């Protein structure tokens, strides 16, 4: 059986800072990461990963049943890990019976069959670029991200796709609680272990609402679809969520709109989070709010790695890397990008580009950053591995290895 190798794009800066400590295949914008999604629609044993060498050991320890950076055989197929997996069947059909061929969308290689053995190396992208190219021009191929914030547009199609897979593996309530206020019941999927408080409102008229295993939704909360609440996550009383994806074990409050929150992050208090992407192990202090639109209604520009980029979006909040914290009352400007292990507490608007290991206007000491991470993870009965600690130290020393092959 040929392998399906999910590979990371050569330039990862457009996917920062969320990918500083995770591979692109681990990004979430639906119920599943793209790796988990691929394992459900392709033969699971066939799915492998090619990731940056600096992530290889950590991934090998985390995904013990998935081969990492194994040399490719002549029948193996390469799939772009940034491309939503629901596109894979379509591009694989284009590659059928072809060799020395790559399928491209807007100049991005999304699938390739070299037809020859290939050793893993940091310049394998160059080899893929020499293949004959076929443009995928079908309607489904419109989903190919250029930037991390493009995934905000994929929340709806991802949840529409993922919920069909999710229903196969989960026990769902066949009858909704009598005191639950709903619109479009047929689009509401609640795991039978979830706890739903009184006077909760669910509006699934514009997309599905999925409430996963052991979630707890407190009274007077409201969810508008398409939205997903991950395993063991909870909503404080009167929380309002719309068009958002929340990973497992997150504690949330206030208002959240059009956002993606990776596992183990907290926004427990009042404040607005709009059109934003949060990594893992983040804690937003009480009253922290993100601006997601400019007062002049112009498109939002972002800064990262010393460069300015046009986002092409009228609505964009903040992109925040893993292990960041904000103080009470922090106000984040439109298009703010924050690296990993930052502590944000400026009295005025913080900068719109905050490098990793920032402590206010100074530097977050590495040992203290690791100590804080350990304390937060201990609250969830987890801890950093030695490999993860080395990864953090490498990031503190030189983050260029994390944004490029």
Q: Could you give the CA distance from residue 214 to residue 280 in angstroms, rounded to a whole number?
A: 19
According to the model, what pLDDT value does residue 386 have? Answer: 97
pLDDT above 50 for 327: yes
- Backbone φ, ψ for residue 82 (5° rounding): -80, -15
CB distance 13 to 339 below 8 Å: no
Residue 400 pLDDT class (50, 70, 90 cuts): low
pTM of the model: 0.96
- The mean pLDDT value for 132-150 works out to 86
Q: Could you give the CA distance from residue 132 to residue 116 in angstroms, rounded to a whole number?
A: 14
Residue 401 pLDDT class (50, 70, 90 cuts): low
According to the model, what pLDDT value does residue 306 have? Answer: 77
Cβ neighbours for 405, distance < 8 A, ≥ 6 positions apart:
8, 10, 12, 52, 122, 123, 125
pLDDT above 90 for 390: yes
Convert the pLDDT of each residue in 50-64 to its tens digit.
999 999 999 999 999
CATH homologous superfamily, domain 151-402: Hexapeptide repeat proteins (2.160.10.10)
Convert the pLDDT of each residue in 273-291 to its tens digit.
999 999 999 999 999 999 9
According to the model, what pLDDT value does residue 274 have? Answer: 98
According to the model, what pLDDT value does residue 399 have? Answer: 67
Convert the pLDDT of each residue in 185-236 to its tens digit.
999 999 999 999 999 999 999 999 999 999 999 999 999 999 999 999 999 9
How does strand 289-290 pair with strand 283-284? Answer: unpaired
- The mean pLDDT value for 106-122 works out to 89
Q: Could you give the CA distance from residue 259 to residue 318 in angstroms, rounded to a whole number?
A: 10
Q: Could you give the CA distance from residue 212 to residue 137 in angstroms, rounded to a whole number?
A: 35
pLDDT above 90 for 143: no
Mean pLDDT of the chain: 93
- The mean pLDDT value for 236-241 works out to 98
According to the model, what pLDDT value does residue 404 have? Answer: 55
Cβ neighbours for 402, distance < 8 A, ≥ 6 positions apart:
12, 16, 19, 20, 21, 52, 54, 394, 395
Q: How do the domains of the chain map onto residue ranges?
A: 4-146, 151-402
Residue 403 pLDDT class (50, 70, 90 cuts): low
How does strand 216-217 pair with strand 195-196? Answer: parallel
Q: How many CB atoms lie within 10 A of CB 188?
A: 21
Residue 402 pLDDT class (50, 70, 90 cuts): low
- Backbone φ, ψ for residue 382 (5° rounding): -125, 165
Range of lowest pLDDT (41-45, 108-112, 141-145, 394-398):
141-145
Residue 308 pLDDT class (50, 70, 90 cuts): confident
pLDDT above 50 for 405: no
Please state, for a pLDDT cut of 70, what percent of the chain lies above it: 98
């Amino acid at each position: 059986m040929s392998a399906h190798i999910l590979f990371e794009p050569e330039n990862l800066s457009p996917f920062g800072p969320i990918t500083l400590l995770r591979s692109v295949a681990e990004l979430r914008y639906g119920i599943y990461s793209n790796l988990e999604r691929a394992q459900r629609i392709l033969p699971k044993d066939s799915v492998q990963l090619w990731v940056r060498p600096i992530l290889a050991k950590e991934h090998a320890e985390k995904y013990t049943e998935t081969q990492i950076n194994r040399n490719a055989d002549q029948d193996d197929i390469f799939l772009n890990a940034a491309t939503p997996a629901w596109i894979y069947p379509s591009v694989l059909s284009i590659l059928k019976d072809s060799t020395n061929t790559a399928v491209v969308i807007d100049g991005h290689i999304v699938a390739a069959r070299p037809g020859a053995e290939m050793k893993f190396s940091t310049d394998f992208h160059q080899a893929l670029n020499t293949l004959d190219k076929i443009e995928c021009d079908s309607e489904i191929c419109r989903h190919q991200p250029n930037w991390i914030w493009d995934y905000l547009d994929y929340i709806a199609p991802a949840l529409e796709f993922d919920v069909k897979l999710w229903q196969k593996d989960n026990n769902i309530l066949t009858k909704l609680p009598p005191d639950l206020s709903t619109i479009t019941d047929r689009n509401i999927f609640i795991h039978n272990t979830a706890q739903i408080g009184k006077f909760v409102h669910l509006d699934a008229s514009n997309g599905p609402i999925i409430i996963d295993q052991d979630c707890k939704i407190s009274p007077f909360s409201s969810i508008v679809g398409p939205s997903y609440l991950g395993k063991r996550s909870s909503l404080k009383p009167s929380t309002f969520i719309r068009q958002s994806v929340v990973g497992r074990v997150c504690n949330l409050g206030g208002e959240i709109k059009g956002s993606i929150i990776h596992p183990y992050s907290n926004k427990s208090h009042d404040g607005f989070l709009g059109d934003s992407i949060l990594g893992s192990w983040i804690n937003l202090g009480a009253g922290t709010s993100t601006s997601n639109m400019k007062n002049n209604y112009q498109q939002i520009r972002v800064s990262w790695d010393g460069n300015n980029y046009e986002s092409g979006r009228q609505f964009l909040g903040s992109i925040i890397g893993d292990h960041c914290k904000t103080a009470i009352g922090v106000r984040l400007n439109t298009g703010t990008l924050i690296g990993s292990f930052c502590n944000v507490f400026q009295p005025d608007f913080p900068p719109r580009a905050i490098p990793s290991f920032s402590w206010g206007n100074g530097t977050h000491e590495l040992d203290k950053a690791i100590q804080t991470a350990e304390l937060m993870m201990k609250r969830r009965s987890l801890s950093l591995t030695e490999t993860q600690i080395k990864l953090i130290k490498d990031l503190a020393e030189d983050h260029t290895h994390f944004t490029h092959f």
